[in-house]
A and B are shown apart, each in its own frame.
Chain A
């Protein structure tokens, strides 16, 4: 479920980054106030555990295939939602930096999709609700299963929305949802089963680990309201502040709004787009650089308005692109040659 940078527009990326930063700041504040200083290394170690556990292949019965763990629910059940969310954020940052799983720009989206729903929705409203009368293996099983499935379903739906708002793929909303939700239902069931087995094992071997977390957190609707308020404020500020970016970018929110909400383009951004086009036209080095007679005719009138493919530019771009590559290769070759000479002279 890791989203790559390539699927994200800067507007969506930065908006989600600030929303995630808001939730993380709130979590930090909460764990600082009831700080058990042993929790910091514990968070680190459990984060590393999830990292390692994600590599365990669990055989899925009757299918012959195997799946792996997401780990959000285990972190929350053992650390509580705030520390769990922060531990998940660390894991995802390391995965993005060292393994290219998810990207830096998509980091906020990934933490939100994989951390927020499990820690702040599934855990307090499903897991805690089912286990409120006391822990036993039956309760733990049902609570883990349902919260893992719901957490993953919400996360997957979030991926769909973020991708559509970024407008990087052609997938229509309905198709994308129909692709994502059933796949993540299957993954969620495996995740739920594995999570339930692990939490049950820990509960039988060391019940105090789970009981401590269960006793330390009292959940009401208050903290969620605060988070949601912060979420809305951050989204409005960042979304509003960066909307100019979406307007210059012919591929931003508007396309997806049209696709998703069946609304027409906002007139203001259309004007903005025109203004920017005029500025760009005036400042362009090669304003009329185009292949004559290759105007796109097969694309219908309304599709051609925005976004459009300029074939003339594409063809010229291919040639230019090839030259760019050639130039890049040449530079690489020259630098390498110089370096080799330097090495040889240094060894002499």
Chain B
């Protein structure tokens, strides 16, 4: 997370995207969650030296992004924030794994292959995660979680955390602006103010939580978080899940990139 304003912007953007009305958004949330988890498990099951096998898996995020009419830039932006962490770990591979391999006449450290494989996996996994939330939204995802028998307390707590984040971040933004205006040219919060700054926020938080809870009780809160009616899964949902799972299984067993290459080479000949 870079900074507060961008985090707030990101949360609101994903909230807005989740409200779109496209065929992907209309799918049952549980179906989307399951498809994503299966996708991740299949992609991550590939070995360290697999590159060409991984590439056909780009079709899943691509199709979903297109049909859900999601903008590309926010996803790319998220990737740019997350990728350096993986690159930081992966970049050591070419140094540590000093076996050389010859590809098209040039010598490479074998570590480059593992590094590339790791980067592709990172791009794919981060993308599908963002796509899931951008097409489903946290409320509908919570319904899917309840269907998976995840206890009510946890789901309720998750939703409340999510709802409070924007409230608290705005509170923090005000405090931090006030602090930085009084401490020009200073990077971060000085150690003399660590306790009082964050502590003040915590105390405000407690008081706020109390007020919010009282307000919730007055509006009839009974430990339930109502997210509206979710339609039952229909044929389209099952078709979506089975269709993609079939594709994942085929792409896991057969190298579709090689198949495509041989197919096109065959046609050209």
List residues of A whose CB falls within 8 A of some B CB: 2, 4-10, 13-14, 24-25, 28, 31-32, 37-38, 40-49, 51-59, 61, 64-66, 69, 74, 78, 86-87, 89-91, 93-101, 103-105, 167-172, 175, 193-194, 196-198, 200-202, 205-206, 209, 245, 248-251, 280, 283-286, 289, 294, 296, 298-300, 303, 307-311, 313-321, 323-325, 327-328, 331-332, 335-336, 339
Bound CA span A284–B256, Å: 11
Q: Residues of A contacting B1 with CB < 8 Å?
A: 54-55, 95, 99, 101
Contacts of B260 in A (CB 8 A): 320, 323-324, 327
Find out whether the CB atom of B259 lies under 8 angstroms from the CB atom of A286.
Answer: yes
Q: Which residues of A contact B99 (CB under 8 A)?
A: 298-300, 303
Q: Sort chain B's interface into a size bin.
A: 35 or more
* A14-B41, A201-B195, A317-B53 known; A169+B114 contact, CB < 8 A: yes
User: With a CB–CB cut-off of 8 A, which chain A residues contact B56?
Assistant: 324
A335, B259: Cα distance in complex, Å:
24
CA distance A78 to B201 in the complex (A): 14
Does B241 have its Cβ within 8 Å of any Cβ on chain A?
A: no
Q: A10-B45, A57-B187, A99-B1 are in contact. Are A48 and B255 (CB under 8 A)?
A: no
Q: Knowing that A44-B161, A170-B92 are A-B contacts, what are 14 other residue pairs whose CB atoms are under 8 Å apart, sorted by A's residue number? A: A2-B85, A9-B45, A44-B163, A47-B164, A56-B172, A100-B130, A104-B125, A170-B97, A200-B199, A298-B100, A314-B103, A317-B258, A324-B256, A336-B66
Interface of chain B residues 209 through 224 with chain A (CB within 8 A): 209-210, 212-213, 216, 223
Known contacts A56-B172, A99-B7: does B197 contact A86 (CB below 8 Å)? Answer: no
Tell me whether A103 and B203 are in contact (CB under 8 A). Answer: no
Q: What residues of B have a CB within 8 angstroms of the CB of A318 in the complex? A: 51-52, 103
What's the Cα separation between A32 and B85 when bound, in Å?
38
Q: Is the interface of B mostly helix, strand, loop or mixed?
A: helix
Q: Which residues of B approach A to under 8 Å, CB–CB?
A: 1, 3-4, 7, 10-11, 14, 36-37, 40-41, 44-49, 51-53, 55-56, 58-59, 62-63, 66-67, 69, 78-79, 81-82, 85-86, 89-90, 92-93, 96-97, 99-104, 110-111, 113-114, 118-119, 121-122, 125-126, 129-130, 132-133, 138, 141, 151, 153-154, 156-165, 167-169, 171-172, 176, 186-191, 194-203, 205-206, 208-210, 212-213, 216, 223, 253-262, 264
Task: For A336, list chain B residues within 8 Å (CB).
Answer: 66
Shortest beta-carbon distance from A84 to chain B in Å:
12
When distances are taken between beta carbons in the complex, the residues of chain B under 8 Å from A323 are: 257, 260-261, 264
A201 near B258 (CB under 8 angstroms)? no
Cross-interface CB contact of B44 among A5, A51, A307, cutoff 8 Å: A5
Q: How far is the CA of A193 from the CA of B36 in the complex (A)?
A: 40
25 contacts between A and B (CB under 8 A): A4-B86, A6-B121, A45-B164, A45-B206, A47-B160, A48-B205, A55-B1, A56-B172, A56-B189, A90-B158, A97-B129, A169-B89, A169-B118, A170-B93, A202-B202, A206-B206, A248-B45, A298-B101, A298-B102, A299-B110, A307-B49, A314-B51, A317-B52, A317-B53, A320-B258
